[in-house]
Structure formats: structure tokens, C-alpha cells
């Protein structure tokens, strides 16, 4: 039976904002959604996945979609994904880029029309093609733990001939939580599951325009679950109590109900202090929890 890795992350408290781009309007907004009856700010899963890829790039791992800071754009190494799409299938993806293996890819091309009816012929349209790989790593949207109260800062920028541009920026002082799921055996190279854990605990900023704000998206607390179970059963498990302290009542309730085995959990960070869940592996820091998780993955999958 395959083993599955699930994780939930909560960030430190910080101030989130989307700084003004070159051609944006007078108010730069945060993404928001209705969550449990209140408006909360949110960060997309795509932004988090982008940050994972950028971490791997900076860590020296080969990535197909390289971010060029000078051009402020991506540079592809292999936009045809030949090791995956070549009928010969020589490497079956094992010796390819980590982002193609973990995050997947898709290139859809429309069919082409051949012939010209105006010249007496009959136009024929060839079938379109789609090269794709579903990414084994699944990431949820990050959602703020506290509701968005509508805070806006107003700023002024001097322009040409004494003109002044007024604009506002939505800001939210909060924490964010998000979850992920990965079945390492769905990867061409199972060892890349270890790099996923590294990216999670070493994540930095995930959003912003050309003038990026700094919001630490590395986990203040993290809960890993290494299990035979197909379902995570603990996504968005963090909450803040009336005093503003982090709590995980839903996770504890699922353990007490027998839906989650305590010995499957590796907990790191302040959330573990005073936790009375017997059987869980509790660590004072998130990096220690990550190392314990990587050891279990390596042992069960017999990684070298």
C-alpha cells in the first residue's frame, strides 16, 4: 500500500499587502473570500507553488521554468518536456527537472487548418495536441486566520510637472494557514519528496508585484502526517482562540475519534507546547519536525 504525506502550515503573524504595480488602478486589493461567515484574505495555491519552484532554483536544484530576475520573466529549459513526451520514454522523467516531476506541466496546442476552400479545395483541420503531466503535489489556498477588517493605507507619488498620483493599498495583519498532499510513489523520483519537505519549511515570500512586500511564509508551526490513509482529514486545522493563541481543536478531535492515528503525526513549533496527544512526535522547532518526517519517508520508501 502506498504511503501519503499530508501537512498543514501556519505562518508567523505579519502584514500582507499587494504593492502597486506599474499599470494598476488607484486601489491595490488583496484576494478575499467568504470563510465561515466572515471575509478573509487569501493567497492562491499557484503563488505558493511558484515559491516552491523558486526555492528549488535558489537551492541549486535543476528546474525547467527558471525565474530570471533581470528579465523579470521565466526562461524555459525544455518547453517540449521531451523526456516525458518522447515515445521512446528513455528516462521516464527521472533525470528531468524537479518542477516538472513534482508540479506537473501542460501545453495545449490548437489544431491547424490545412487547405483553402477559396481555391477549390476542402479545408481540413488537424486535431489539437496536449502534452501534460498532473502534478503529484497538491496545495490548498492559504487563508488568513483572522477576518479582514478592511484596512487601507493611502499613499502619494509625485509625477511629471508637479502632478501627484494618489493610490491606496489594502493591508491585513494576520497569519495564514494552508495544507498540502503528496504521494511520493507518484513521482518519477521518490527522493524528491524530501525536497518538498525542505521547500515547505524554508519558504519565504510568495506574492507581490515588482515592489514586493516581505511576509514570512515559512511555518511557525507545522503538522506532518505520514500515513497509509488516502485522506488528509486535517486540512485547515489551525484556529485562534479568543486570546489570539493558536489551537488545533479539530485535529485533536479527529485523533480522539480514531480517524487519525497519533503516531502518524510529526508536530513542530510552538503549537506543540502543552499538547497532550499521546503518541505524536512533538518537536520545539519546525526544522526538527521536517528532519523527522524525512527520516520516516526515507525509511519506509527505502531511499538511499
- The model's pTM is 0.87
Instruction: Please report which helix (H) or strand (E) contains residue 58, including its range.
Output: helix 45-58
For the chain, the domain total comes to 1
Structural domain contains residue 200: yes
Strands (E), 197-249: 221-227, 239-240, 246-247
Whether 197 maps to a domain, the answer reads yes
Question: Nearest to residue 11, comparing CAs of 269, 209, 195?
Answer: 269
Residue 235 lies in a domain: yes
Q: Is residue 91 part of a domain?
A: yes
Choose among 7, 70, 67, 21: nearest CA to 218: 7
Instruction: Identify the pLDDT of residue 209.
Output: 52
Q: Helix %, strand %, coil % for the chain, to 5? A: 25, 30, 45
Residues 6 or more apart in contact with residue 236 via CB below 8 angstroms: 8, 140, 143, 177, 179
Asked whether residue 61 is domain-assigned, the answer is yes
CA distance 31 to 166: 21
Residues in CB range of 228: below 8 A, 6 or more apart: 1, 2, 3, 4
Say what the pLDDT of residue 23 is: 46
- Residue 213 has a pLDDT of 67
In a domain, 121, yes or no: no
What per-residue confidence (pLDDT) applies to 122? 63
Domain residues for the domain of 227 are 4-108+129-160+172-301
In a domain, 113, yes or no: no
Per-residue pLDDT of the chain (304 residues; tens, 9 = 90+): 799 999 999 999 999 887 555 445 567 788 999 999 999 999 999 999 999 999 999 999 999 999 988 888 889 998 888 788 776 655 566 678 999 999 998 766 666 666 555 555 566 666 655 667 889 999 999 999 999 998 988 877 666 666 777 778 889 999 999 999 999 999 999 999 999 999 999 998 886 555 556 789 999 999 999 999 999 999 999 999 988 889 999 999 999 999 999 999 999 999 988 777 788 999 999 999 999 999 999 999 999 8
**Domain annotation covers residue 291:** yes
Q: Which residues contact 187 (CB under 8 A, 6 or more apart)?
A: 101, 102, 136, 193
Amino acid at each position: 500500500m502506498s504511503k501519503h504525506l499530508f501537512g498543514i502550515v501556519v505562518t508567523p503573524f505579519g502584514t500582507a499587502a499587494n504593492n502597486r504595480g506599474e499599470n494598476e488602478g488607484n486601489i491595490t486589493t488583496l484576494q478575499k473570500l467568504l470563510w465561515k461567515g466572515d471575509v478573509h484574505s487569501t493567497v492562491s495555491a499557484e503563488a505558493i507553488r511558484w515559491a516552491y519552484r523558486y526555492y528549488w532554483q535558489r537551492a541549486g536544484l535543476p528546474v525547467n521554468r527558471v525565474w530570471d530576475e533581470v528579465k523579470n520573466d521565466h526562461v524555459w529549459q525544455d518547453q517540449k518536456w521531451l523526456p516525458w513526451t518522447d515515445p521512446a520514454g528513455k528516462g521516464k522523467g527521472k533525470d528531468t527537472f524537479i518542477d516538472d516531476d513534482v508540479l506537473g506541466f501542460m501545453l495545449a496546442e490548437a489544431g491547424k487548418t490545412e487547405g483553402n476552400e477559396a481555391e477549390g479545395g476542402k479545408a481540413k483541420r488537424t486535431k489539437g495536441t496536449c502534452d501534460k503531466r498532473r502534478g503529484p503535489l497538491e496545495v490548498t489556498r492559504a487563508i488568513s486566520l483572522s477576518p479582514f477588517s478592511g484596512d487601507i493605507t493611502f499613499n502619494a507619488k509625485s509625477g511629471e510637472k508637479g502632478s501627484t498620483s494618489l493610490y491606496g493599498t489594502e493591508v491585513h495583519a494576520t497569519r495564514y494557514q494552508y495544507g498540502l498532499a503528496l504521494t511520493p510513489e507518484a513521482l518519477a523520483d521518490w527522493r524528491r519528496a524530501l525536497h518538498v519537505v525542505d521547500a515547505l519549511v524554508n519558504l519565504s515570500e510568495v506574492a507581490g508585484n515588482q515592489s514586493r512586500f516581505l511576509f514570512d511564509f515559512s511555518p511557525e508551526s507545522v503538522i506532518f502526517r505520514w500515513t497509509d490513509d488516502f485522506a488528509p482529514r486535517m486540512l485547515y486545522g489551525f484556529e485562534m482562540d479568543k486570546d489570539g493563541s493558536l489551537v488545533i481543536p479539530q485535529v485533536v478531535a479527529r485523533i480522539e475519534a480514531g480517524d487519525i492515528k497519533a503516531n502518524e503525526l510529526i508536530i513542530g513549533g510552538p503549537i506543540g507546547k502543552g499538547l497532550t496527544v499521546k503518541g505524536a512526535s512533538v518537536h520545539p522547532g519546525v526544522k526538527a519536525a521536517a528532519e523527522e518526517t524525512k527520516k520516516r519517508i526515507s525509511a519506509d520508501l527505502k531511499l538511499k
